[in-house]
Structures are given as C-alpha cells and as structure tokens.
Structure 1
Amino acid sequence: MKKLFGLAIIIFSILVFPIESLAVDYSIDNSRIDAFLQSDGSVKVTEKHTYQFDGEFNGITRTLIPKNNTEINDVTAEEKGKKLNIEREDNLYKVHRKGEDENITIEIFYTIENGVEVFSDVAQFYWPFFDESNESDYGNMNVFVHPPETTGNVIAYGEDAAADSADIQRNGTVHFSMGSVDSGENGDIRVAYDVSLFPGATITKDQPMKQEILADKESLEKEQAAFAHRQDLLSGLAPYIVGIFVIYLLVLVVYAANQRRAVQMEVAHQYVSAHFVPDLMMSLPATLSFMKSGLLDANVLTAALLDLVRKGYVKKESEDTFSVIHKQTDYQHEKILIDWLFYKIGDNGTFHLGDLKKYTDEESNHETYWKDFEAWKQAVKEEVKEHHLVDKKPKLRTIIGLSSIIVAPFAVLFGVHELFLPMFLAIMLFGALLIFAASFRVKTVKGAILYKQWKEFQERYPTISDKDWQDLQSEEQQRAFIYSFGLNDKQLHKKNEQIKEVLPQNDRSNSDIFAFLFIASLVHNQFEDSHTVAAATTSTGGTPGGGAGVGGGGGGSGAF
C-alpha cells in the first residue's frame, strides 16, 4: 500500500511539472537480492542489478542504510568476476564503472552484522532493502531469504511494495516476488525461523516473539483485505463521482457562455461604431489597464506621462525634460504620477529622464520606487473599478471555489487506494474548478462596448492611409499614438514607425505628434531600465531525504 507521502509526491508532480531531471539516463531492468542468514546472526547479502544506460555514465550507486543496532560491512562490487572500485559517502556507495550506451550487470556483496534478531522462540530477519528515499524504479525486484539450513517452520510476509509477494519454498527459502517497484516506495520484508537455527547468535530479547509476529501478519492481512474491499468500493463509485463533477463543470461552462452571449446581444443592440479613435469613457491609462487585463508596465507608464502632456498638465521643455504646468488633475493616479516623477524623483516640478537613472542607481531608493509605482498602479485600477466594466460575481465564484474543495478528498482517496486514473481525473477537475472560480468574470454591457470599440481601433489602425491620418485632428492623433504605444502591440508599433517616416517634419501642424513619436521610445527605455535596476530576485533550495524503512533502515539505487 502506498504511503501518503508518496501520494503527495505524485499529486504534486502532476500539478507542477518537475523542474529537475537525472543527470544520467538509465533504467534498472532486473534486481535480485539474496540474503543468506548465518547461524551467528549475521547476514551475507549478494545483490545483482542489471542497468540499461542511454548515453555516458560513470557508474551506479547503492544506498545502504542499516537498521538501529546493526552494521553494514565489507561492501564490495564486481562485474563478471572483476572487482570494481567503490567510493563511500556515509550510506551512499558509488560503484565506478564508466561506459556509454550499455547494458551492464553489477554484483554487490556485503554483510549485515546483527541482521537477525533472536528471541526465546524464534529468530527474525526484518529488513528494508529499499525505502521511500529511493529515487529509481526497479523493473523487476526479487528478494530471496535463505535460512542457515533446510527447515519447514517458516513465517513470512511483506509490507507495502512487498505485500502479497512472499512464497515459502520447500527448503525454507522465502522468495519475495515484487515485480515492478516504483521509486519512493517502502518494501519491508519479515521472515521468522525457529531459534534453534541460530545457536551462535546473540539474544536480542529473552522473550517469546512468535505470537506477536503471527498477530502482526494477521493484522496486516486484515488491513490488506480491508484495503482491497475499499478499493473495489471506490472503483465502483469512481465513475459516478467523477461523472457528477464533470456534469457540474459543464453546467458552469454553459452558464458562463450564456452570460457572455446575453451581454453580446445587448451590445449588438446598443453599439455605435466610433469614427476612428474612440471617445474616452475614462482616462487613457485606465483604458489601457482594462484592455491589457490589468497589466501596467513601462509602456503604460510612458503612455501615462505622454497623456499628461496631451492634456496640458505637463509641458515638454526639451527631448529629455518635462515640467509641471497644472497640479490640479482629473484623476488621482495623475496626481500620484506628477508627485512621484516631478517632485520625488525630479526637482520642484521639473523631471529630466536622467533623474530616473540617478534615483534608481541608489539601492536605498529601490523599495520606495516600487511602492510609488504600485500606488500609481492601484489608483489606475481604482478608476477602472469605479466604471463597473466587469461583473466579477464574487458570491458565485466563492461558491465554486468552496465546492472544488469537495473534489480534493476524493483525489486523495483514489490515490491512496491506487486508483490512479480516477485520481488523475479528480485532480484535473479540482484544478479546472479552481481556475474557473479564480478567473470567471463577465464584462458588463458598458465594458463590452468599450472593449469592442478599442478592438476595432486596433484592427483599423495598422491599415489607416497617410491621407486619413493627416485628416485626423491633432488631439485624435495623440490619443491614437498614446494608446497604441501603451498597448505594446507589434502591428501598432510598426504603424507608429511608418507614421514617423512619412510625417513632414517642417509642418508645424504635425509638431506635437512628431514630438510624441520621437520622445516616446526615449521615455520608455528609461522607465524599462529603471524597472530592471529596481527589480528584486529570490532563490530557493531543497533538502535531501533519509531512511524510512523498519528500524530506521532503508536504501535505494541510482547512477552517476
């Protein structure tokens, strides 16, 4: 039976794709472990692992974590009778054997001191040859436990990956045929023989243990039977549980589609196409925020500064210098931007582009820079919010989000009971419902009309003729340019460059728009550089695992 820890790893791996991969590409096709119990209580172990490598490799690894009160000694390795060099790092043994694109079989030999626990009536070998810290899959795992001599009085069973795998042979040898074993699984084995087979072993505890072992075996068998019963029950329920939530999700999707369709029908009834540049329902920065789904970057910040020039609050003194004309603005975010650029970064109402670099070159200003930028962004979003362009349906989204939590326990139950297809589907449904709850919103009629008008402008702007552009009023040209620059669309940017090329520079009627075209990139580059300089970075790290088998033992396999 899989542990919850292993299940958590599986679920996490499905939701968040792994970011690390093994340095060596390999598989372990066959593994055979022979444990020869000695009359003195030690255990001579021979392991044979067949690896298939794709690409270059330096060798294999074997982690051998001893149980409490035991030791692992005399570790050696061979290939076809030839001894191989071993490098030890705590419980990790690196067997050096270089090669490329090969199938190799390595034998590992070692002795477990005090591996057999001796009691007054029985002696047991209770051992984890691998545990959940193992990072490799075993294609076919077989473990053989050999008694010191032929015997017929044997108790044997396995746990987790070794469950239902014990076969007691005539001579007393126990074969644990586990087959395929995934990484991250435990697989403790337990074999008990008559104590008379170990006359030279030290008594672990002078008390009987046979009945306790039999009770543990019976308890495990009951657990396994109960597990099988629950597995059958959940297997039968899974299609209905998954089906109910699939229908629930489909109902939500249909509801969302109907909501949007109703808005579009009303928009079609009310909509009047703009002549070319739509009239402003709200400020240009707020319009850009709405059209860019709330993304306010250096392009929008540049557009906001140019919009202050367009509205006459700020005057362009030269290519890189601006000064404040009026501090009384229409919107709070305009006031914040003026205070930030012209009085905190600039000086007494004058802002040079170079001031931005000087300000952000000082590391002590970085936190303040981002706080002021966030304050401006928040004020822009507040303006958008005031216009009720989107119905976020908070109550419905909360209900959907809470209902998605119901799916999570089923995903865990399916995983615990090794019903991986229903588990995967439940996880997908859980994620889909969460995404729906987080993202579902419907534009209001007002929002849909505004969106449609500016989308039409975006489609028409790249194809406007030079004559039609010249026929526009200067204020319309400025709005068109500022919006297209802030949107940061490749086609619109290309059109702006074309307009710059064809404008007659000596025509005074075009002086304002030409100035906008010329300084926009300068301002944007400075804002972009300042954002980069002020940006912070983070880092993450990880920790290794340890032995989780019976008695603190365990192990695993790998390659390098």
Structure 2
Amino acid sequence: MLKRRGFWGLILGLLVGLLFCVVGQSVQANADYTISPYRVNVQVLKNGDANVTQTMTYQFDDDYHGVFDVQDMRGIQGGQLTDVQYQVNNGGTVSGVSATDGQNGSYELTQNKHRMKVKLYQTVSDGDQMTVTYRFHLRGIIKNYRDTAELNWKVIGTGWDVQLNHVKVTIQLPQTKISKLQAWTHGPLSGHTQVDRQQGRVVMTVAQNPAESFVESHLLFPTTVTATNTNKVAKDRLVAAQQQEAKLARQANQKRQQSLWLRRGVFLALVILLIGFGARSWRWYHRHPANKYTHPTPINHSFEVPGVTPALARSLADGMSPNTDALAGEILAAAARKEITLEPVKNGRKDTVKLIKNGEQTNSFLDKCFAKIGSDDSFTLQELKKFGKHDKTDELNKWFSEWQESVDNVADAYYDENNLNLRERLIGTRLGLSALIILTAAASWLLGATAGKIGIVSGLVVLIAFWVLVGRFYRHIDRNNAKGLVQVNELTGFRRMLKDIGHFNTAEIGDLILWEQILPYAAAFGLAQKVADKLAVDFGSAALDTDLVVFYPLFYGGLGLPLGDALSDSLSTALQSADTSTDSSISGGSGGFSGGSSGGFGGGSGGGAF
C-alpha cells in the first residue's frame, strides 16, 4: 500500500512541477515598483522620421527620487527629446523643466550617438502613482528599398528591469488605405498584432512583457507611403524580408502548437489522475466498510457519577487526548482521595494554591511535579508557573505528554481501531482529492480564459459536493465501539447536565457527598466554578462548610480564586512557557507575435526608477 501511495504521490508531484513549468514565469529580481500600463504611440512621417510618445504609469512600493528612460538610437540617424510631462497621483499634469540641479520637476538629458537618457527628478513615496510621458523625434527610422519601405525596430528594448504590464504599441503610417501593408511582431508568444490596412495602422498588444525582454516591430509597405524619405538603399528587400518572417512565423506557430499540446496534455493528465484516484478511492472504501454499531438512546441529562476518571471522561467526550482542564479534574480527584491536600495561600495580589503530597501518587504528572518542583513534598501553582518559565529542557511538557499517553492507552478500549484508521484515511483522501480538484480547475486556464472560467466554476461545484458527501460519510463512521458508544452517551448527558446546572435544584438531586464526587468531573469539563456557585445557592454556606470538607476552603474560602479555572490556567501557562517548539501571421497580416528577431535597430532602450 505504501508503494502505491508513493507512486501516486510521485506522479502528482511531477504533474504539479510540469504545470508550474508551463505556466511559470522566469524569476526576476524584485523591484519596489510596477509599471502598468505601458503605451507607445509612433507617428511615422512622410520623410521616414517618427514622432514617438512613450507613456508609462508607475506604482511605487517604496520611496524614490525619480525615474529615468533610455531611448536607443543605434541604427537610425539621430533624434531629440521634445517634451517630458508627468502626473503624481490625482494631481495635474506638470511639464518637466530641463535643469541639472536635481530639483523636483526637473529633468536631465544625456545624449550621444548611441542613446538618449532622460532622468526625471520627482520625489515619490510608498503607495504613490506617477504617470510619465516622454516625446521624442527620431530621424531615419524607415528605410526605402527599391521594392519596399521597411520599419524594423525594437520599440521596447531589453533595458527594463521590471515586467511591463498591459503593453500597447501603436504605429500610425502617414497614409491610409495601404493594401500592401504587412506587419510582424517579435516578442512574447502571447502577444497579438492587429494590422489595419484601411487606416494604415498597426497595433501590438501583450498583457506582460517580461523584464529584459524586447518587443520588435517589422513593417513592410510601399515606398510611396514615405515618398520623401532620403534614407534609401539601392537594392531589393521585399522577398527576402517576407521569407525571413515566414520562417520565423512558422517557428513561432510550431512553438505555440507545442505549448498548446503540452498544456492540453497536462490538463488531460490531471483529469485522468483525478478520475483514477477518485474511482480507486471509492472502490477501496466500498471493499473496506466501517464497523456498524447500534447506538444507545440519547440521554438528555445524566446525574450519575461517571464510571471513569475525570480525565478519561473528558477524553472520551471530546474524542481526543485530555487537556489541562482534564488534568485539573484529576488533581481535584486526587484531593478527594486524600492523596494530596489543596491548601489556599493568601499572598496579596499573588494568591495561589499549594499542593501537598500525602502519600503514594497515582497521577504520574503530579508525582514528577512533587519530585522536581517546590520543597518538602509540596509546591504552589506559582512555583509551577515559574518552573515552566525556566524549563529549558521542556520537562514539564514531557511529563504532561506521558500523562496524556497513559490516559489515551486506557481510552483505546472504548475505540474501534479499524474505524479510527478509516477516518484517518478518509481525511487524507479528502485532502488529496480536494488538491487534485483545485489543481485541475486551475489548470483549465491553460486552455484559455473561457475554459478557465468554466473550469473554476465546475471545480467549485464539484469540490463543494465532494466535501458534503465525504462529510456525511465521515459522520457515519463510529470512532467508538459498542462499549464506547454507551459510555460516551452517558458522558454527553452528564456534561449537558453540568452546562444546564442553573435549571436544576442541586439540593433535590443529591446530597453534598454526591456533588463532592461530581466537582472533579466539572473541573475536567471546565465547569467547576459554575457548579460550585450553584451549590452555594441551593445548599447554603453553612451546609457547604460542614459537609463539603475537601473543597470548601478552595471554592468558598475567600481566596478569590475560581479553583478549577486557576488550576487549568496555571497548567496551561506553565506548559506554554515550557514549549520550546515558518498563431503568427506568415503573410504579415494580423496575428500573434513571433519569437526570435528580425534584426531591428535599437534594443538597448529601457528605464526604471532611482
């Protein structure tokens, strides 16, 4: 069975890893700002020059002095910066002023034949938003060959240190109705190129362009569009450029198709794994049914003293290991058996209770406390807390765990081991299948946005139905055997009686000897003080002083300590203190981006914040 589980775990792990490989992005160094949206508008002129407007919006997660932008000019005939504008948050648009003093609103331009770098000084803080617009005039971006005009340009270069989001690049030619306009874009394969020949416009969009990645635009159109262009080359270019782009487009389409089939394969594998795991699990549970028992008639209120110890009573009623309330109940029971004496100690604001050893101890936790804490076979709750605070070796928790284990061993006789194992396995099955359902629903986005939305809704419906079904099945698996069901039924009625103690006259139910036996159980259920207060009302202080010999000084002696709560709280505090345990167009029409590069000019442009 372990080998089979290991096999399915390995398969699931491989599929999860493959899913992240398919949908994951390369890890980039984190910057304390994002850029969204990013817009570039290129207005091509008749002479082959272009007016470029570059607009980006920064979202800052830290304080910065300003931002900068680099415009690569390699491969063209030069250019100049014509304007810088910015807007901080909801303020008005401000025009930058050329200066070298670094004051807010100033910009500094450094330029050579390879690039222009613009530094805009404007102090921003964490949470600020700033939109910056740069305008450039670039000369000679178009080449007129004998048979075609060409624009081949990395509009977005590799100099960006952060991902650009919601990217849109618009190139408007100086003429409309260009029937022979062709365009290709190289960059992320998720991008799209829209060629509008009627308007003489090309629009490129991509949701995210990763850091240090480029978007390259390659346009071919008749030379008459840029008729006055002096940047001419006396050779033919059209066929070679078309062949180059056709090859790149085929390669991109092949990669895109491979990616699609890989995504489909991952999704199909998850569906098969989900169905297979679900069918295998159903078959296993069908072949290994739970043991069935006849349930006793529920008891509403029980006034009988349980036939088990207070700690075991709390453990069985909760179906888990005993807690500090249960230990407090055991301490009161030990006092009732005269194994220990509980003595109030008035000490100003630090009133406490002293536990005095009278003889052999049946409680292992108490036995170790008497041996290691306090002196003269006694210790106070104050000393218990202090010991826990300085318990570097975690002894106190070890003693408590050993005591819990001893109670758990006795409780085993009341449980059905087969059903408990079945319940534990069902929890693992529920978690495993839930993870597969969620993973499969998430993987549906690999097939597209529409499929993703359908997958998420369907996955949610399946997940809810699955949890309801498993929950009903789980509740019908009895953790207790026949003996345990009877005992738990009595304990449930007994605890309900203690909770509803205010509705009864305790003096009419039994004498104080009975209630002295009940008080340790009330402490184990965290209800000791509630019961003690009710006894005071029904019996009167004189009767309590005479007949409630063991517990009267503790509950009614004026110490101001609710004993059951004091014991449990002291134990919890001490134990916690001791705990030392984070597709691309081949023809040049509209379509997806291509990979590779057509060798366009530029490529070093970029920017960021400083």
TM-score over 0.5 (shorter chain): yes
The Cα shift of 1:392 comes to 1.4
- Residue 219 of structure 1 aligns with which residue? 251
Q: Is the 2:43–2:174 contact (alpha carbons within 8 Å) kept by the matching residues of 1?
A: yes
How far residue 45 of structure 1 moved from its aligned partner, in angstroms, is 5.1
**Matching residue of 1:33:** 40
Deviation at 1:46? 1.1
Amino acid at match of 1:359: F
Distance 2:301 2:323 in 1: 27
SS of the equivalent of 1:365 reads: coil
CA distance in 2, matches of 1:128, 1:369: 64
8 Å contact from structure 1 (residues 50, 105) kept in 2: yes
Counterpart of 1:446 (choices 468, 474, 483) is 483
Residue among 124, 128, 133 paired with 1:108: 133
Residues 95 and 454 (structure 1 numbering): CA distance in 2 closer, same or farther, change over 3 Å?
Answer: farther
Paired with 2:252 and 2:383, the residues of 1 have a C-alpha distance of 74
Give the total of aligned pairs: 481
* Residues 247 and 310 of structure 1, relative CA distance in 2, 3 Å threshold: same
Pairing partner for 1:422 from 451, 455, 460: 455
Displacement of 1:470 in angstroms is 6.1
Q: Residues 41 and 198 of structure 1 are in contact (CA less than 8 Å); yes or no, is this contact kept in structure 2?
A: no
Q: Is the 8 A contact 1:65 1:555 kept in 2?
A: yes
CA distance in 1, matches of 2:230, 2:514: 99
Q: What's the counterpart of residue 341 of structure 1?
A: 369
Task: Report sequence identity in percent.
Answer: 10
What is the Cα deviation at residue 44 of structure 1?
5.3
Where do 1:248-259 residues align within 5 Å?
none
- Mapped partners of 1:224, 1:268: distance in 2: 65
Give the match for residue 55 of structure 2: 47
Q: Which deviates the most, 455-464 or 466-475?
A: 466-475
Asked whether the 8 Å contact 1:316–1:322 carries over to 2, the reply is yes
Alignment correspondent of 1:82: 94
Aligned positions of 1:388-427 closer than 5 A: 388=415, 391-394=419-422, 396-397=425-426, 407=437, 410-411=440-441, 413-418=443-448, 419-423=452-456, 425-426=458-459
Equivalent residue, structure 2, for 1:480: 518
CA distance, structure 1, for counterparts of residue 120 and residue 19 of structure 2: 26
Given candidates 505, 508, 513, the residue that maps to 2:541 is 505
Q: Is the 8 A contact 2:172 2:200 kept in 1?
A: yes
Distance 1:484 1:509 in 2: 18
Between the aligned partners of 1:185 and 1:3, the Cα distance in structure 2 is 22
Q: Deviations over 1:418-442 (max 9, x none)?
A: 4244246547857987995997753
Q: 1:33 to 1:42 in 2, by over 3 A?
A: closer
Pairing of 1:132-211 with structure 2 (within 5 A): 142-145=168-171, 152=181, 154-157=183-186, 159=188, 161-162=190-191, 164-167=192-195, 169=197, 174-177=202-205, 181=207, 189-192=215-218
- CA gap of 1:166–1:451, structure 2 versus 1, over 3 A, is farther
- Unpaired stretches in structure 2, ≥5 consecutive residues: 1-17, 26-31, 75-79, 97-103, 108-117, 144-149, 224-228, 233-239, 346-352, 556-561, 583-594, 598-602
C-alpha spacing 1:229/1:529, structure 2 compared with 1 (3 Å): closer
Call closer, same or farther: CA 1:108–1:309 in 2, change over 3 Å: farther
What amino acid maps onto 1:504 in structure 2?
G
- For the residues of structure 1 that align with 2:66 and 2:355, how far apart are their CA atoms? 67
Instruction: Give the C-alpha shift of residue 175 in structure 1.
Output: 0.6
Q: For each residue in 1:346-380, what CA deviation from the matched residue of structure 2 results, as whole angstroms up to 9, or x when unmatched? A: 33532222211331343x53733333333333433
Q: Which amino acid aligns with 1:352?
A: T
Deviation at 1:47, TM superposition (A): 0.9
CA-atom RMSD, angstroms? 6.3
Conserved? CA contact 2:172–2:201, under 8 Å? yes
Conserved? CA contact 2:170–2:202, under 8 Å: yes
The aligned counterpart of 2:314 is 288
Q: Distance in 2 between matches of 1:359 and 1:189?
A: 68
SS of the equivalent of 2:40 reads strand
The alpha-carbon deviation at position 209 of structure 1 amounts to 9.5
Q: 1:259 deviation in Å?
A: 6.1
Take 1:198 and 1:495, find their aligned partners in 2: how far apart are those partners?
102
Secondary structure of 2:218's counterpart equals strand
CA-CA distance at 1:321 after TM superposition: 1.5
Shift of 1:506: 3.4
Q: Return the alpha-carbon distance in structure 2 between the equivalents of residues 131 and 6 of structure 1.
A: 24
Question: Deviations along 1:449-477, whole A, 9 cap, x unmatched?
Answer: 33322222233332466654465355642
Going from structure 1 to structure 2, the CA distance change for 1:511 and 1:145 (only over 3 Å counts) comes to farther
Q: Does 457-466 or 30-39 show the bigger shift?
A: 30-39
Structure 1 unaligned segments of length 5 or more: list them: 10-22, 52-57, 201-207, 541-548
1:546 corresponding residue in structure 2: none
Report if aligned partners of 2:335, 2:550 keep a CA contact under 8 Å in 1.
Answer: no
Please report how far the alpha carbon of residue 536 of structure 1 lies from its aligned counterpart in structure 2 after TM superposition.
5.8
Q: Which of 354, 372, 382 is equivalent to 1:354?
A: 382
The equivalent residue for 1:387 is 414
2:296 and 2:485 in contact (8 A); partners too = no
Distance in 2, matches of 1:340 and 1:40, equals 93
Q: Given residue 184 of structure 2, which amino acid in structure 1 is its aligned partner?
A: I
Q: Is the 8 A contact 1:134 1:183 kept in 2?
A: yes
In structure 1, the residue corresponding to 2:203 is in which secondary structure?
strand
Conservation of the 8 A alpha-carbon contact between 2:186 and 2:596: no
Residue 154 of structure 2 is aligned with which of 125, 147, 164? Answer: 125
1:161–1:64 Cα change, 3 Å: farther
- 1:483 maps to amino acid: Y
Distance 1:286 1:328 in 2: 17
Does residue 370 of structure 2 align to residue 324 of structure 1?
no
Given the superposition, is the C-alpha separation of residues 173 and 248 from structure 1 closer, same or farther in structure 2, using an over 3 Å criterion?
same
